[in-house]
Structure 1
Amino acid sequence: MEQFTLPDDFFFGAAMSGPQTEGEWNTGGKLENLWDTWSQENLSDFYNRVGSYAGNAFMAKYQEDLRIMADLGLTTYRTSIQWSRLLDEDGNINPEGAAWYHELFRASREAGLECFVNLYHFDMPTFLFRRGGWESREVVEAYAAYAAKAFAEFGQEVKHWFTFNEPTVEPEQRFQAGVWYPKLHDFGRARVVQYHISVAHALATANFRAAQADGTVRADAKIGLINAFTPTYTRENPTPEDLEAVRMMGGINNRWWLDLITKGELPVDVLDTLAENGVHLPIRPGDAEILKQGVVDWLGCNYYHPTRVQAPASKVDEYGLPRFADEYVWPDAVMNESRGWEIYPEGLYDFGIDVRDNYPGLEWFVSESGMGVMDEHLHRGDDYRIEDPYRVDFVRGHLEALARAIEAGSPCKGYHYWGLIDNWSWSNAFKNRYGFVEVDLMDGYKRRLKRSADWLREVATTHVVK
Structure 2
Amino acid sequence: MHNFPKNFIFGAATAAYQAEGAVNEGKRGKNYWDDYLAEQGVFDPSTASDFYHKYPEDLALCKEFGINGIRISIAWTRIFPQGTGEVDPAGVSFYHQLIDACLANGVEPFVTLHHFDTPVPLFKKGDWLSTEMTAAYVEFAAFCFQEYGSKVNYWITINEPWSVVAGQYIIGHFPPNLQYDLPKAIQSMHNMMVAHAQVVKKFKQSGQSGEIGIVHILESKYPISNSEADKSAALKEHVLANQFLLDATFKGNYSEDTWSIISGILAENQGELRTTPQEFEDLQFAAEQIDFMGINYYASHFLQAYSGESQIHHNGTGEKGSSVFALKGVGERVNNPAIPTTDWDWPIYPQGLEDMLVFVKERYPNYNKLYVTENGMGDKDKLVDGTVTDTARIDYVRLHLQAILNAVEKGVKVEGYFIWSLMDVFSWTNGYTKRYGLFYVDFDTQARYPKESAYWYRKMSQSGQLS
State the TM-score, normalizing by the size of structure 2: 0.92
Aligned residue for 1:188? 183
The aligned residue for residue 55 of structure 1 is 48
For 2:213, the equivalent position in structure 1 comes to 224
Out of 357-366 and 302-311, give the one that drifted further. Answer: 357-366
Q: Using the TM superposition, give the Cα deviation of residue 285 of structure 1 relative to its aligned residue in structure 2, in angstroms.
A: 4.2
For the 8 Å contact 1:11–1:414, the answer to whether it is kept is yes
Distance 1:156 1:270, change over 3 A: farther
Where in structure 2 are the equivalents of 1:46-195 lying within 5 Å?
A: 50-89=43-82, 90-185=84-179, 186-195=181-190
Structure 2 equivalent of residue 265 of structure 1: 253
**Correspondence for 1:252 among 210, 234, 240:** 240
Q: Is the 8 A contact 1:164 1:226 kept in 2?
A: yes
Q: Shift of the alpha carbon at 1:321? A: 8.0
Aligned twin of 2:226? 237
Consecutive unaligned residues of structure 2, counting only runs of 5 or more, are 313-325
Q: Deviations over 1:385-404 (max 9, x none)?
A: 11111111111111111111
User: What percent identity do the matched residue pairs reach?
Assistant: 32
Q: Is the 8 A contact 1:79 1:115 kept in 2?
A: yes
Equivalent of residue 393 in structure 2, options 376, 391, 394: 391
Contact 1:119 1:164 in 2 (8 A): yes
2:336 matches 1:334: no
In 2, the alpha carbon distance for the partners of 1:260 and 1:317 equals 26
Q: CA deviation at 1:275?
A: 4.2
Quote how far apart the aligned CAs of 1:151 are: 1.1
Consecutive unaligned residues of structure 1, counting only runs of 5 or more, are 45-49
Partner of 2:315: none
Using the alignment, how far apart are the partners of 2:452 and 2:149 within structure 1? 38
Partners of 2:329 and 2:267 lie apart in 1 by 13
* 1:43 Cα offset (Å): 1.5
SS of 2:307's partner is coil
Q: Deviations over 1:206-226 (max 9, x none)?
A: 1111122xxxx22xx111000
User: 2:192 — aligned with what?
Assistant: 197
User: What corresponds to 1:359 in structure 2?
Assistant: 364
Counterpart position of 2:201: 206
Greater CA deviation, 280-289 or 132-141?
280-289
Over the aligned positions, Cα root-mean-square deviation in angstroms equals: 1.8
Deviations 1:81-115 (A, max 9, x none): 11111113343432111100011111111111110
1:421 to partner: Cα distance: 0.7
State how far apart, in whole Å, the 2-side matches of 1:52 and 1:270 are: 39
**How many aligned positions are there?**
445
Tell me the residue number matched to 1:284.
276
C-alpha contact 1:274 1:280 (8 A) present in aligned 2: no
Indicate the residue corresponding to 1:458 in structure 2: 459
Aligned residue number for residue 331 of structure 2? 325
State the shift of 1:233 in Å. Answer: 0.6
Deviation string, structure 1 residues 24-47 (Cα, Å, up to 9, x no partner): 112211100111121222223xxx
Question: 1:158 offset after TM fit, Å?
Answer: 0.7
CA separation of 1:237 and 1:101: change in aligned 2, threshold 3 A: same
Contact 1:22-1:59 within 8 A present in 2 as well: yes
| Residue 13 (structure 1) aligned with residue 11 (structure 2) | yes
Do the aligned partners of 2:295 and 2:373 also contact (CA within 8 Å) in 1? yes
Corresponding residue SS for 1:461: helix
Output the amino acid matched with 2:218: F
* Counterpart code for 1:237: N
Match of 1:416 among 408, 418, 438: 418
CA distance in 2, matches of 1:313, 1:322: 7
Answer whether contact 1:70 1:113 (CA < 8 A) is retained.
Answer: yes
The letter for the 2-side match of 1:449 is P
> Structure 2 CA distance, aligned partners of 1:321 and 1:400?
33
